[in-house]
Amino acid sequence: MNTSTVHQESELRSLHGKRVAIVGYGSQGRAHALNLRDSGHDVVVGLRPEGPSFARAVADGFAPLAPAEAARSADLVAMLVPDSAQPALYRDHVAPALRKGSAVLFAHGFNVHYGQIRASQDVDVVLVAPKGPGDFVRRQYSDGHGVPCLVAVAQDATGEALGRAMAYAHGLGGTRAGVLQTTFAEETETDLFGEQAVLLGGVTELVIAGFDTLVDAGYQPEVAYFECLHELKLIVDLLYEGGLARMHHFVSETAKYGDLSRGPRIVDANVRASMRTLLEEIRSGAFATEWVLENQAGRPRYERLLARDLAHPIEKVGASLRARMAWLARPTEREAAT
């Protein structure tokens, strides 16, 4: 990854003696705040007193301030609230409090790339995006490791923007695993595409279609669940650990031939064309506009689609089967462990 020795020796000190405000204390916000504090940085958390994360931040040893007050006191402000909440929070509380020469940091480039947030010309605008959920970022740091990070600069008002981003990534533990320099456009567009075409939209629709095909053909829903959802983790783990080569090494020859000969019939030219269409909607801003308007309207379509997804029979079958799997950590147990 293109992080030079010069970067690691000079730029990683760019936040020395500076205050970092973490606005938001969800999955990423908590991990960033704790990792940066443990790395020796002066960290303040910006939260609404009535917010759901306030008590947790206090329990972790922070004395949260109102977002505007936290931003006013800081040299770098990390916007780590959900994308949909960022524009109003930035406009009404953070932007008026920023000092000339300070920096605003994002973990996802959506609002900057699509013009929902436009910072004044006298502040740095940077991105540090760990490639993992917050609890994983925290756990890896605590174990002496790190999670790779993407770093980008949208606006360099001070000449120190990249150094500040690198120092922040270093404080998260990202330089232990590697830091890749990118752009806000590349991070945002590839992230959205991955979610829609593969990681979420593609995978869940494929799982449901496979489940429905087997059940409609008369097979037991429980067996269909095991074949189309449960065993997916086994394959994903192999791919995660060693790519296609490791996956091919550990599956049977029969499974491997079925993969190689039948996979292209599922993900065919029509699917690839649909992926290109999705990507064009992302690059043109059409998806961003749709999502912004959906939020402004109160998310009626979002809620309807989510309810339909969660009402699918695979959810009922899966809940019953998973209740018998003693090795699965329940959500409350995972939260307590982080």
Q: Is 32 a catalytic site residue?
A: no
Is 14 annotated as a binding-site member? no
Tokens of 13: 């000190």
Is 102 annotated as a binding-site member? no
Is 53 annotated as a binding-site member? yes
Is 231 annotated as a binding-site member? yes
In which element (H, E) is residue 179 found? strand 179-181
CB crowding 311-337: b at 16 or more within 10 Å, else e: eeebeebbeeeeeeeeeeeeeeeeeee
Query: Among the options 7, 32, 93, 108, which is catalytic?
Result: 108
Is 194 annotated as a binding-site member? no
Is 50 annotated as a binding-site member? no
Q: How far is 109 from 92, CA to CA, in rounded Å?
A: 20
Is the separation of the CB atoms in 151 and 181 below 8 Å? yes
Q: How far is 219 from 89, CA to CA, in rounded Å?
A: 51
- The label of the residue with tokens 């029509």 reads 270
Q: How far is 276 from 282, CA to CA, in rounded Å?
A: 10
Is 195 annotated as a binding-site member? yes
Is 25 annotated as a binding-site member? yes
Is 142 annotated as a binding-site member? no
- Active-site residue list: 108
Binding residues for NADP(+) are 25-28, 48, 53, 134
Binding residues for substrate are 252
Binding residues for Mg(2+) are 191, 195, 227, 231
Binding residues are 25-28, 48, 53, 134, 191, 195, 227, 231, 252
